[in-house]
Amino acid sequence: MKLTAFLTTFTILICIPDPSFGKDEMVLRKETMYWATTIQDDVCEILIPIKVGQDVSDMRNQPCSLSHGKFDLTLSGPPGTTVTLFGEYNFKKGNGFLTIKKKDHRNIWLLDLIYFPADQWYYSEANEDSGAFETFYNPSPIFEESISSIKWGINTQ
């Protein structure tokens, strides 16, 4: 009887989807730059999920904040979901920023956050790897390494 109860409970826990599955969020990953890694540096393999609407004024409180590397991201959510990544703390624009706006229901996957033309809106069609989106990039040196704050739902242009 105990084995049956255990197996039933175990089956229910395995078969019921995680309630957090499918939530709208951005997931950041800090890719280690091996040429800049020393013995003291930790390789950070942690994904940093940030839910839609969860503004982050200081990324130093997030995992991997002290490791060397550049960020990449995935972004899920409905069309119109907009997020801005800032190169300074407290949403300041002085060290560059990148605004991303989703144009369809597919996830966006960005491996290179500085690939976009400077100081103009850029539209990217959906492809086999990523959904359609628009970006506005205000460049600064090593922006992709210095993401310091994140704000949802604003256009900075």
Is 86 in contact with 93 (CB distance < 8 Å)?
yes
Cα angle at 53 between 48 and 57, to 5 degrees? 65
**What's the rounded Cα separation, in Å, for the pair 60 and 65?**
5
What pLDDT sits at residue 43? 60
Per-residue pLDDT at 37 exceeds 80: no
- Over residues 95-153, the pLDDT tens digits come to 999 999 999 999 999 999 999 999 999 999 999 989 999 999 999 988 988 899 999 99
- The predicted-structure confidence for 54-95, as pLDDT tens digits, reads as follows 999 998 888 777 677 888 999 999 999 999 999 999 999 999
Beta bridge partners of 72: 29
Count CB atoms within 10 A of the CB of residue 88. Answer: 16
